[in-house]
């Protein structure tokens, strides 16, 4: 499957709709979780080669919070949700009612980050399923906070064996004073990618 995908207006509209629906669902769920309105920015949506993911997200020596999980069903693969350390701390501060202390995250704070990751991945995966009509189910996630190079390197080494293209949705969320950014990536197997592209009108 070539990574040089030529997307027409209708296909780009379909991808943007996935992002818009996912962002809307995430905003509703995060607002309920945080007890206050959460605004979601309009996502940037693109397909990109797996080998370009790390550079697209940021420098390898930056600390990030990342969630990695599998996708089962009609289009299996993997998902990644990545936030900068600053964005993760902002979310934690809101959820646990105060600033994070120390150099790391407590067990409670990691639990809060996992719940945010569950909401974000579930919202975007649900939107992808809604647009394509495919059955997509997430597996239990693994969550970590570490240097981007370490976290992403381990995850991407695993997915690169079965995938060469990822769907990336980047969006901001929060309020005007403390916006946070997160990257959602769906990395289907080669066969699953063909299925997704066919449902989006991009099949060969």
> What does the domain layout of the chain look like in residue ranges?
9-199
More confident residue, 128 or 13: 128
Q: Which CATH class is domain 9-199?
A: alpha beta
The percentage of the chain sitting over the pLDDT mark of 70, rounded to a whole number, equals: 87
Residue 193 has a pLDDT of 83
State mean pLDDT over 96-125: 80
**Adjacent-strand bridge partners of 89:** none
> Long-range contacts for 33-39 (Cβ within 8 Å, ≥24 apart)?
33/95, 33/115, 33/116, 33/119, 34/94, 34/95, 36/94, 37/175, 38/173, 38/174, 38/175, 39/173, 39/174, 39/175, 39/176
In angstroms, what CA-CA distances link 52 with 56, 123, 126, 196? 6, 24, 25, 20
CA distance 9 to 131: 16
Give the residue-averaged pLDDT of 174-190: 74
Is-above-0.95 flag for pTM?
no
Residue 134 banded pLDDT, cuts 50, 70, 90: very high
* 80 close to 148: Cβ distance less than 8 angstroms: no
Contact 127, 16 (CB under 8 A): no
Q: What pLDDT is attached to residue 36? A: 77
**What is the pLDDT confidence band of residue 135, given thresholds at 50, 70 and 90?**
very high
pLDDT digits (tens, 9 = 90+) for 44-95: 888 888 888 888 877 678 888 899 999 999 999 999 988 888 888 887 877 7
Sort 57 into a burial class: Cβ within 10 Å, 0-12 / 13-18 / 19+. buried
d(CA 116, CA 118): 5
What mean pLDDT is predicted for residues 147-164?
83
Instruction: Taking residues 146-174, report their average pLDDT.
Output: 82
């Amino acid at each position: 499957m070539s990574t040089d995908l030529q997307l027409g207006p209708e296909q780009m509209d379909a991808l943007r709709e996935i992002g818009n629906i996912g962002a809307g669902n995430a905003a509703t769920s995060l607002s309920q979780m945080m007890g206050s309105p959460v605004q979601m920015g309009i996502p940037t949506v693109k397909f990109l080669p797996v080998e370009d993911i790390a550079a697209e997200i940021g420098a390898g020596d930056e600390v990030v919070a990342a969630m990695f999980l599998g996708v089962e069903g009609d289009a299996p693969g993997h998902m990644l949700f990545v936030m900068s350390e600053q964005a993760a701390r902002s979310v934690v501060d809101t959820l646990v009612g105060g600033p994070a202390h120390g150099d790391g995250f407590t067990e409670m704070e990691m639990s809060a980050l996992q719940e945010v990751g569950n909401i974000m991945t579930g919202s975007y995966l649900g939107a992808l399923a809604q647009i394509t009509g495919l059955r997509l189910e997430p597996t239990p996630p693994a969550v970590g906070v570490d240097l981007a190079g370490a976290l992403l390197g381990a995850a991407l080494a695993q997915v690169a064996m079965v995938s060469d293209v990822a769907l990336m949705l980047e969006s901001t969320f929060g309020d005007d004073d403390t916006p946070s950014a997160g990257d959602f990536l769906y990395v289907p197997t080669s066969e699953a990618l063909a299925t997704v592209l066919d449902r989006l009108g991009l099949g060969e």
